[in-house]
Structure formats: structure tokens, C-alpha cells
Structure 1
Amino acid sequence: MPTATQAQRARKTRGMQSRAALPVLALDAGNYDLKFYSGSGHPKAIRSVRFQLPQGRDPVSFSDASPLIELPDGRRYHFGAQAYKYRRQQQTVVENKVELARLHLYACLEPIDDARSEFPLALFVSTPDPARNAASLEQQLLGAHEFKRNGVEFRVQVESVKVVREGMGAYYHASQQGLIPDSGYTIVVDIGGGTWLTRLIDADGEVIDENVMDRGGTYELATAIGFDHRLTDALGTTADPCVVMDGFRMDHAYADTGLSWADWLDEYLEPWFKDIFQRIKAQYTPYMPRVTRFLVTGGGSHLIAERLAGRRLFAVVGDPQFANVRGLYLLSTDTQLCMTPA
């Protein structure tokens, strides 16, 4: 006979049985990547970099992975890796991503069934601090939207916007994967590009404490590495932290220069890692005896996955870059998943 908690968790995680008729997009607009998922295939990502083209400038080639957005007033924005081919591109990691919500949505909207570009939409988004940002996100995203994406005219009516605490999607996804114990507390540690955050969650799925660090994500680690003379001397100039962040996923190499910090990465990674977990321990000291799982997720978690391997209390979500957006999509398939208030 299943326990009440097991039955509750089963209701949370069986959501794939009932899909809403309204098209759904789960959107996790991160500082490093814009992640999105419509329920089929694998979630997708677009590098969170853009360039606003002057009226007299032709764009370089665009694609679904690096889309060109055109607004009715004539403004044009090129997103993704191709934005690096222009000078003075804009990096979301050093901006307020909430203010860019509408543009980020346009970058991530693709035609339905490769053909339909006029449709209603239910939107599920996350933000580190819903209490502060939910109203602004809803104001920007609800209603009618007209724009061009890669030359295709879109007319989209956003019927609903559900704003969820960032990191909770990863918790829902991990619960479905059987990574959350039936008892005790879970601490979600979400390490992103610009920020890292924690949520303390009880066995009923309630958030009972939390902390959002506006700094300290992989951008801070990349900035520190970018000042190291072993890199700057070889480059002959300062290193771009965002290019270093790209290198974290490509053998720790600085673009195509052949320069790498892999041999001395630990000199920076170790104190960065320790600082995060010392802060977690300090905040949650009274709860530690009842913590049964540290769930580590987010696009920066791969940097510390090896250090956590084999530790009984720790679990790193598989494909952590997309765990949050997968969990957001689960909310569209079963409202029982939404156990915590936004």
C-alpha cells in the first residue's frame, strides 16, 4: 500500500498522461542560454546573446539556432552564436533578463508542425524571484504578439502565463526520475550563468526556505579566469568572460585560439565550489539533520559533477541544462504538479 507521500508524488509525476489542447511552450530564459520545450523531441537552446542591427546593415546568416527577429517598428535583433559575428553584441548575463522577456519569447517561438505560425499559446516561464518579477513578466507576455522570425510572420496570442520559481522545474523533473526521497528535506542547488540559487523543499513539495544569489554563477568564475595572466598574456588582450563561459562546454578552450585553462582550472574551480556550499551550509544549518538530498542542477552543474560523484546525499540531474524547462512543461500536463505557490 503506497504511503500518502508516495501517492502525492505519483500524482505530481504522472502528468504525461493528459496534454492540454492549447499549444504549450515552457521557457527558461537563462543568462547563458534560452531554453525552451514544446513537449516533443529534445528541449532546445539558443545562446543568450543578441545584436541589434542598424537599418542599413544586412544580417549574417540566420537559423533556428540563431534566429533573426524583426519587430513591426522595424527593429531587428539577431540572437545566438551568430551574434558574435558582429561587433558590440549584447550579453543577457550583464543585463536584466526580465526586461527582455518579450524578445526572448520571440527568439524561442517556432512554427507548429513546421508550418503554423498563427496560434494561441499557454506559456510556462520561470524566474528566480516571482514575487518581484511575475507581474512584469505577465504584462509583457500576455496578449497578442506580431513579429517576424527568420522571415516568417508570426501572430501569437498568449492566453495564459504561469510564472514559477526557477529551480522548481528541476525538482519536478527529478521527482519524476525517482531522484527525490519520500521523506526529509531536499535542497535544490541551481547553478546558472549569472546567478545561483537554492530552495529548501519538504517531503510535501513545499518551499520552506530559499536564497537567490544575484552573482556567483559561472559568469563570476569565467571573469576570474579571464583575468589570469596565463590567458591574457597569450591573447595579448583581456579575455571576454562570455567566451570563457562557452569554453566551459568545449574542453576549456578560448574559442578557436588553441588556448586553454584546463591545466589550472582547479585553482579557480575549487574556491568557487567551496564558497557556494559553505553559504548553503550556513543558511540551512538548522535543517541539515533532516536533509536527505542535495539536488544539483543548472547549466553550471557539470563543472562540479565529478566532485559530487559517489556522495550519498548528492544527485546531479541528468542533462542538467534542460532539467528546469522539462519540469516547467510537466506543469502543463498535470496541475497537481504545482504544489508550491509562485
Structure 2
Amino acid sequence: MPFGTRQTSVRKDAIALGGTCRTNFSETGRTIALDAGNYDLKFWDGAGHPRAIRSVRFQLPQGRDPVRYSESSPLVELPDGSRYHFGTQAYKYRRQQQTVVENKVELARLHLYACLEPERKEEICHYPLQLYVSTPDLMRNADALRSQLLGIHEFKRNGIPYRVTVDHVEVEREGIGSYRYAQQLGIIPDSGYTIVIDIGGGTWLSRLIDAEGDVIDENVMDRGGSYELATAISFDRRLADLLGTTADPAIVMDGFKAGHTYADTGLSWSLWLEEYLDPWFKGIFQTVKAQYTPYMARVTRFLVTGGSSHLISERLAGRQLFAVMPDPQFANVRGLFPIAEGLQLCMTTK
């Protein structure tokens, strides 16, 4: 099989391997929640603050040495010798690959390898692993994700050899993690319907959820996330004329979190951002309203979440029915992680 994995009798091998890296369940191995987004790969082991790696990579030719790698920009090497440099360091190569324009389900193994941090760099990492992941379209992608992720995975990450046995994969609807986390924070009313609006880098989606936690209706937009907004801005001649070329939408996306400036050029689209932001915002919420019109009288909360929700949070401030998740980039991955019965999840900050 490609990407350094092979199926086996998973449970038996998981017991035999034991665990030499840091674990968070002592007898069976390690548990990771993984939210492999189009903009960031988010992951959490239940301790501290979730981590993120920019979802961009470069495949190095055999004759090329990598630039400096780190935990936030890891270098992954597969048994066939192919190497992939993830994160912001990938921008230092030509023609890096952006997850936002690819099928991220097909990249599930590589994304997992990029996110498996060791506790100590000198360790050889052998352990069984339980994964909790999400996907926008559960019916279409759940089986494919399990097929890719279950089994033994052998690879190197930042020069450290790994042999990881994934013995359990739980796949959930994207956005449901945010809903569960919002419940833990007391944001969800006890009665009525909640509409979760999850705005990501490549896509956005909505789920209508009743007071018992059942999904009544849903809508997944394959496009329309912040990458679409960034692409529109990248073709604006006011920015292109200053750069002398068409802007890179991926760098514009980065600028959304850095004062709306283009990399280190100091050039900004902030003065005319509203021309693009307003129709983008209205397009999302008009679609939501049309989708759920028959249920609106029973809606008691609009929960806005996802890594791009910061772009519209100011517009929603003070609206009684609306709540924007705290630390929205990591809300879904927090809610994916299983919580022991009777325990409460504490809010942590960076």
C-alpha cells in the first residue's frame, strides 16, 4: 500500500508493540483527535492547547536537501524514500502543494504522519493509536478514511522512526465537535434547535441539530470558504498592480490572520476588503436561511465556528441568537476528543 501503511491483525499487533512515546491512556496506547482542515491540520491529545500545522507541503526531489524543519513544519519520509515538508517552511520551495485545492481525504495518512509529535526527540516511536477524526461528508468519506488510517504505519518524522498501529478510527461529522464543545462551555440552550455554521478554508457547512443532539438537516458546500474570498481578492488589480503580478490566494489567506497584509511586503487590502467580505458573508447566511426556513421559529442558537469565522465575528457581535465559538479554529478538534464520563473540559488559551 502507498504512504507507508499496511493492514494487519491490528489488535494483536497493538498489544505486542506496547508504547515508548508519551501516552495518554496507559494500557492501550495513545489517543489523538485530528481535524485535518484545508488551511490548518489541527490535533490534540487532550493535554495543553491543541496544535496546528499549516496545511501546505512540498515533495522534495531525491537530490535536494530540505530547509530547516521543526515541530510546526515537520519533514515526513516514507519507506520508499519520498519526503514531504509540511507547514510554513514549505513556502520556501517553489510550487508547494495546497490541501485546499486537493482532496484531503486522499491525504489522510500524510496528514496523520505530520501531526504525530513525539515527547522526546531521541525516542523511537512505537505505540498503538486511537484516532478521532472528522469529515464534512460522513456518508461519502467515512469508509475511505478508515481504510487509509487503520493498520500499521511506518515512516520517519523529523528523522525519528515511527511504527504506529492505528487500531481504532472514529469518524464524525465536521462541526459536531464544535457543537459538543459549545455544550461543555454552556453556550447551547437546553431547548430548541441549534444551527452550526462551520466556515473553513476551502468549504463551509451547516448542521441543524435538535436539543437531543440529533442532526435534523445539513448542508455541505464544497466551495465557498475563505479560499474563495482570498481568490477573489488575489485577482483585484489594486493588489496585483502593486505586486507586479497576480497574488497567491494561499498567501492572501495567511494575511487574513495577519492584519490583511500580503506576506512581508507591507501591502494590504484592508481599505477595500469590505467590497469582497460583504457579499461573501451575505452569500453564506442567505444560503443558511433558505435551507432552514421551515425550522427558523424553533432555532434558539446560531453557533458560528471554524478557522475562518474570525472574518465575520464583528458583524455578529451583539446579536442575541448568535454565538461565535471561543478559539474557533480549535473548537472542532477539542470536541472530537473523547471525555471520560463525569469529567469536565477546562478552557485553555495559548
The one-letter code of the counterpart of 1:226 is S
What 5-or-longer segments of structure 1 have no aligned partner?
Answer: 1-18, 338-342
Deviation at 1:334, TM superposition (A): 4.7
Aligned to 1:5: none
Note the 1:161-176 alignment, pairs <5 A.
Answer: 161-176=169-184
Q: Which of the numbers 241, 244, 249 marks the counterpart of 1:233?
A: 241
Aligned residue number for residue 58 of structure 1 = 65
Letter in 2 for 1:70: E
Give the secondary-structure state (helix, strand or coil) at the position aligned to 1:274.
helix
Indicate whether 1:244 and 2:252 are aligned: yes
CA drift at 1:130: 1.2
Paired residues, number: 318
The sequence identity of aligned pairs, in percent, is 73
1:20–1:333 CA contact under 8 A, matched in 2? no
Give the corresponding residue for 1:47.
54
- Provide the rounded CA distance (Å) in 2 between the counterparts of 1:123 and 1:35: 13
Q: Equivalent residue for 1:73?
A: 80
Q: What is the one-letter code of the residue matched to 2:103?
A: N
2: CA distance between counterparts of 1:55 and 1:332? 43
Counterpart Cα distance in 1 of 2:31 and 2:118: 12
Cross-structure match for 1:289: 297
**Contact (CA 8 Å) 1:110, 1:117: kept in 2 or not?**
no
The residue number in structure 2 matching 1:99 is 106
The one-letter amino acid paired with 1:315 is A
1:268 is aligned to 276
With over 3 angstroms needed to count, the CA separation of the structure-2 counterparts of 1:167 and 1:134, relative to structure 1, is same
Quick one: distance in 1 between partners of 2:306 and 2:150?
27
Please tell me the root mean square deviation across aligned C-alpha atoms, in Å: 1.5
After superposition, the Cα gap between the structure-2 partners of 1:104 and 1:334, relative to the gap in structure 1 and judged at 3 Å, is farther
Matches of 2:157 and 2:80 in 1, distance apart?
14
Q: 2:202 aligns with which of 194, 198, 223?
A: 194
Could you tell me which amino acid in structure 1 is paired with residue 70 of structure 2? S
**Alignment-mate amino acid for residue 88 of structure 1:** R
In structure 2, C-alpha distance between the alignment counterparts of 1:314 and 1:243, rounded to whole Å: 30
* Aligned mate of 1:139, from 147, 161, 165: 147
1:129 paired residue number: 137
Task: Return the structure number with greater relative CO, CA threshold 8 A, min gap 6.
Answer: 1
Output the CA distance in 1 between the equivalents of 2:118 and 2:25.
18
Q: Given the two structures, how large is their TM-score scaled by the length of structure 2?
A: 0.89
Give, in whole Å, the separation in 1 of the partners of 2:39 and 2:326. 19
Matched residue type, 2:166: V
Whether the 8 Å contact between 2:199 and 2:308 is mirrored in structure 1 is: yes
Matches of 1:44 and 1:242, distance apart in 2: 20
TM-aligned CA deviation for residue 117 of structure 1? 1.4
**What amino acid is the match of 2:334?**
R
Cα pair 2:33 2:133 within 8 Å, conserved: yes
- Contact 2:60-2:66 at 8 Å conserved across structures: yes
Secondary structure, aligned partner of 1:139: helix
Amino acid paired to 1:137: L
Asked if 2 retains the 8 angstrom alpha-carbon contact of 1:186 and 1:200, the reply is: yes
- Compared with structure 1, are the counterparts of its residues 336 and 124 closer, same or farther at alpha carbon in structure 2 (3 Å cutoff)? farther
Give 1:63's aligned amino acid: S
How far is the alpha carbon of 1:134 from its aligned partner? 0.7
Q: Give the deviation of 1:333 after TM superposition.
A: 3.3
Conserved 8 A contact 2:200-2:308: yes
CA distance in 1, matches of 2:105, 2:342: 25
Among 85, 94, 115, the residue aligned to 2:92: 85
1:310 to 305, 313, 318: 318
Q: Is the 8 A contact 2:194 2:208 kept in 1?
A: yes
**Which consecutive residues of structure 2, in runs of 5 or more, have no partner in the other structure?**
1-23, 345-350
Correspondences of 1:16-27 after superposition (within 5 Å): 20-21=25-26, 22-27=29-34
Deviation at 1:23, TM superposition (A): 1.2
Aligned 8 A contact 2:124 2:160 in 1: no
Instruction: State the distance in 1 between where 2:53 and 2:257 align.
Output: 14
Q: Deviations over 1:295-334 (max 9, x none)?
A: 00000000000000000000000000000000001x3535
User: Which residue in 2 is equivalent to 1:207?
Assistant: 215
* Aligned equivalents of 2:136, 2:103: Cα separation in 1: 12
